[in-house]
């Protein structure tokens, strides 16, 4: 059984993430979506909220998909999941340079787990969670970038943040 881990913060999960999830699910028997925290980012949603959001988005997929929180080295997490590969999405050349370096470091940590790069659909390549949050915070329409339920989640969070700021 071929198992892959697709790690990320998913804050929030975007249509770009879902495209990579769908593509990865077609090439593996089991896909583990690892939801993590990134100390260099300020999340809009808690880890529990992000887990619930991603679980809702992947509900009903044909491939076995698990959504799991982790707070460790990616390669340690992947090993615990029995993964054969790490899936990473690419949007632009800048992504490739960063991901290439990370893949090299991960290979040094565990050379039994391959890194596989998947390109997002051309129409989804500009989407980044950071930009979705920024657009939402300024009252912009994010419905082209996230599913309707995630759009509702983000709008509700922006409203809460707005009330706290006033």
**Residues catalogued as catalytic:** 17, 41, 91, 129
Contacts of residue 129, defined as CB under 8 A and 6 or more positions apart, other chains included, come to 9, 10, 11, 12, 13, 14, 17
Q: How many residues does the chain have?
A: 166
Phi-psi region of 159 (alpha: psi -120 to 50; beta: other; left: phi over 0): alpha
Distance CA 128, CA 117 (A): 17
Q: How far is CA 47 from CA 1, 67, 75, 153, in A?
A: 29, 11, 20, 14
Q: What is the dihedral of CA 15, 95, 20, 143, to 10 degrees?
A: 0
SS3 content of the chain, % helix, strand, coil (to 5): 50, 20, 35
């Amino acid at each position: 059984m071929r198992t892959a881990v697709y790690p990320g913060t998913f804050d929030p999960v975007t249509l770009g993430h879902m495209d990579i999830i769908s593509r990865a699910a077609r090439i593996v028997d089991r896909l583990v979506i690892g939801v993590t925290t990134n100390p260099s980012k300020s999340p809009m949603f808690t880890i529990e909220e992000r887990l619930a959001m991603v679980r809702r988005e992947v509900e009903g997929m044909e491939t076995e998909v698990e959504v799991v929180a982790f707070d460790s080295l990616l390669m340690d997490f992947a090993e615990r999941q029995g993964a054969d590969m790490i899936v990473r999405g690419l949007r632009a050349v800048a992504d490739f340079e960063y991901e290439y370096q990370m893949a090299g470091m991960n290979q040094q940590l565990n050379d039994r787990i391959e890194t596989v790069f998947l390109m997002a659909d051309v129409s989804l390549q500009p989407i980044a969670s950071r930009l979705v949050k920024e657009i939402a915070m300024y009252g912009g329409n994010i419905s082209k970038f996230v599913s309707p339920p995630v759009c509702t989640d983000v709008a509700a969070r922006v409203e809460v943040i707005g009330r706290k700021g006033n």
